[in-house]
A and B are shown apart, each in its own frame.
Chain A
Amino acid sequence: DVKVTQSSRYLVKRTGEKVFLECVQDMDHENMFWYRQDPGLGLRLIYFSYDVKMKEKGDIPEGYSVSREKKERFSLILESASTNQTSMYLCASSLDKGLAGGRGEQFFGPGTRLTVL
Chain B
Amino acid sequence: AQSVSQHNHHVILSEAASLELGCNYSYGGTVNLFWYVQYPGQHLQLLLKYFSGDPLVKGIKGFEAEFIKSKFSFNLRKPSVQWSDTAEYFCAPGYGGGADGLTFGKGTHLIIQP
Contact = CB atoms under 8 A, between A and B. Distances in A.
Interface stretch (B67-75, B79-87, B97-105): B97-105
B106 A42 contact: yes
A105 B46 contact: yes
A88 B46 CA distance: 19
A104 B32 contact: yes
B96 A103 contact: yes
A56 to B, nearest CB: 4
A90 interface: yes
A104 B1 CA distance: 18
Interface residues of B, number: 29
Contacts, number: 69
B100 A45 contact: yes
B99 A108 contact: no
Nearest to B30: A103
Contacts of A105: 34, 46, 49
If over half of B's interface residues share one DSSP class (helix, strand or loop), that class is named, otherwise mixed; here it is loop
Contacts of B32: 103-104
A112 to B, nearest CB: 11
B31 interface: yes
B43 A111 contact: yes
A6 B91 CA distance: 23
A40 B9 contact: yes
Interface string A17-48: 00000000000000101010000111111001
A59 interface: yes
Contact of A31 (B9, B31, B36, B101): B101
Nearest to A108: B44
Nearest to A57: B99
A90 B44 contact: yes
A99 interface: yes
Contact of B43 (A40, A43, A99, A108): A108
A102 B94 contact: yes
